[in-house]
Structure 1
């Protein structure tokens, strides 16, 4: 059973990579991408360099409004519409038009006649009015949906990344597979947990040490080559003041509050006066815990807990990519800033792989219904039936 997927708002392709890592009992890949899209040119080039020339660069609304565009048939549509519209960091989110980009997502689900879709976004989506609208539209098109907030560390990713996932299916209610059973546990949690949420023999969370301890000290300040561990393992040129601040908080877990305590003369006034909001800044990671959420400016320690646990420096692009579970041979295109944006915006590869596993299981359980859906779609195509959409 070969399943075709479309990846929207694809970025570097974290979703696609996770799906492509799923194999059947014969060791052959289950999922094959037939179309993808992203509005960022560098991200589209990254995607195509790794997965083949089928990521279309451009505005998804313009693409759908072009009568010459033909969206190919697919079994699954995946993607993460830009999440800034829902983010708590966006004070103008009530007026943010990017919140509505789930509409073209659903229209491509319709045009491709997919049987399943998976949408990823920030957790705030699930308590928004937009979620109710997504559910309403999905139900009207024959989909039953399930949604949950999932922590990547619970699925083997060395990162405490929490994201909302929505799975919709026209085959059956996906509740028998979604959310996926957790494969990893927090070893520090001594409270009794619901074992039904976990797979048998769930392992401890993967840590910063597991992900990056083998890397040498970074060299240079620029990207070196297209792939390999060294390509993205470069440093920065910090000021002497920044270096002094790094040395003032040498222990893992320390952050700007420790800097203020031990070296107030090195602490900016804006940090001293800041009592709320983003307060976990200029912090060191812990060796034996997962990383914090990797965002697009992870190379700036003043933006979060992005200092190396031991060395006096921010984490590198390679280390951030490993926290997202991109392999060292993955090719990134674009400038240092653009590559960082691609890494921070990506769906964590290991999380995508776990989602892909349950999607595959869902298709196996309802194989006969999938065949009927494909036959109906082919019949409609042969009869020239036009799929009505609205963007």
Structure 2
């Protein structure tokens, strides 16, 4: 089996895709203890280091075939200030340090789409063009998770470095449109119906089970799976009235003016996806870390009938639904509080995209 290291591993989205393609993980590093516990619950505790990557000495980095990882990217995100001095923007240097120590045949970086226009990407290219990563060839571009069978439109930067010859980005397996209107090689995009339609429309609880698990000598809430994460909320009457006015594909501009908060009334343009409702027949938009707050994006459940108010589901998606839209299997195991698990889900690499990358890398290594 080809071996790999997963850096900034989170809850294991990238590892999940590579393990499915036949890779064996020799080391995973994740500083968030809750995410590290979730990773350990699914892939084993023995190779996980729940520490800051900067504290892992080069002498403890094993030689492997592949290094993968997504250095934290909030500093590049369009949602943030894009502060070039943000220390999170410098963590790619730690990634490079581990690549140098492991000397893999291939490395893979996943990041927000803006990474390709960042100064840090220019510095990374300089490391390849005669610097510490000389000998590697870079292939890079933007990939949409929906093009690889994920029921979510999530556009990400992917960089593949190789010292065994260029490794192309994987070709899409799915496309936007209906069967018959797409090339024979492509399937239609997966939609939200295919992932969450069979789940109860009205969750029976707002709380996680009162169970605990121990990893790294520490006790965590968990382990949870499946309907454990199908958690409801208690919206106010005003929130319910707002939700009820939004049809599939709609958003804050569908909410009657008298129901809008002043910040939205005074902002006639932009932020079109907030208070948005998903569509059954389309992938979701990007699942972020606060998917349980409709004011943060298009996160209302897709069920809404214009003629039958009693056939409307006026709530945000649950943790379980968000995990399924991120392409996690139904039996994936989770550790942490509700907020911590939401953060893990929103920050993860969708497994379908990870599988596509793993397949491309496995072919190059064969």
Q: TM-score, normalised by structure 2?
A: 0.89
Q: Distance in 1 between matches of 2:115 and 2:270?
A: 20
Q: Offset of 1:280 from its aligned partner?
A: 1.5
Q: Distance in 2 between matches of 1:151 and 1:92?
A: 22
- 1:62, CA displacement in angstroms? 2.5
Matched, 1:206 2:190: yes
Kept after mapping to 1: 8 A contact 2:278/2:300? yes
Give the superposition deviation at 1:119: 0.1
Cα displacement (A) at 1:244: 1.5
Residue among 22, 33, 53 paired with 2:25:
33
Whole-angstrom CA distance in 1 between matches of 2:198 and 2:142: 32
Q: Distance in 2 between matches of 1:342 and 1:277?
A: 28
Offset of residue 87 of structure 1: 0.9
Q: Distance in 2 between matches of 1:246 and 1:189?
A: 33
Pair 1:34–1:219, CA change in 2 (3 A): same
Contact 1:81 1:105 in 2 (8 A): yes
Aligned to 2:231: 234
The answer to whether the 8 A contact 1:4-1:75 is kept is yes
Following TM superposition, by how much is the alpha carbon of 1:223 offset from its aligned partner in structure 2, in angstroms?
A: 1.9
Query: Equivalents in 1 of 2:68, 2:296: separation in Å?
Result: 30
The 2-side partners of 1:288 and 1:109 are apart by: 42
Pairing partner for 1:83 from 73, 89, 96: 73
Instruction: Measure how far apart 1:279 and its partner are.
Output: 2.9
Note the 1:1-391 alignment, pairs <5 A: 2-22=1-21, 30-53=22-45, 54-64=47-57, 70-139=60-129, 140=131, 141=133, 142-174=135-167, 178-187=168-177, 200-217=184-201, 218-224=203-209, 226-249=223-246, 251-259=247-255, 263-310=256-303, 311-364=313-366
SS of structure 2 residue aligned to 1:220: coil
Query: Unaligned 5+ residue runs, structure 2?
Result: 210-221, 304-312
Per the alignment, in what secondary structure is the counterpart of residue 306 of structure 1? strand
User: Could you list the per-position Cα deviations for residues 97-143 of structure 1 after superposition, in whole angstroms to 9, with x for gaps in the alignment?
Assistant: 21111111011111112110000000111112211211221343211
- Aligned equivalents of 1:18, 1:272: Cα separation in 2: 43
Find the aligned partners of 1:359 and 1:110 in 2 and give their Cα distance.
19
| Residue 189 of structure 1, CA deviation | 11
Query: Does the Cα contact within 8 Å between 1:281 and 1:303 map onto a contact in 2?
Result: yes
Partner of 1:379: none
Matched position secondary structure for 1:164: strand
Q: Distance in 2 between matches of 1:146 and 1:363?
A: 16
Aligned length: 340
* 1:270-312 Cα shifts (integer Å, max 9, x gaps): 0111244533100100100000000000000000000001111
CA RMSD of aligned residues (A): 1.8
**Unpaired segments ≥5 residues, structure 1:** 23-29, 365-391
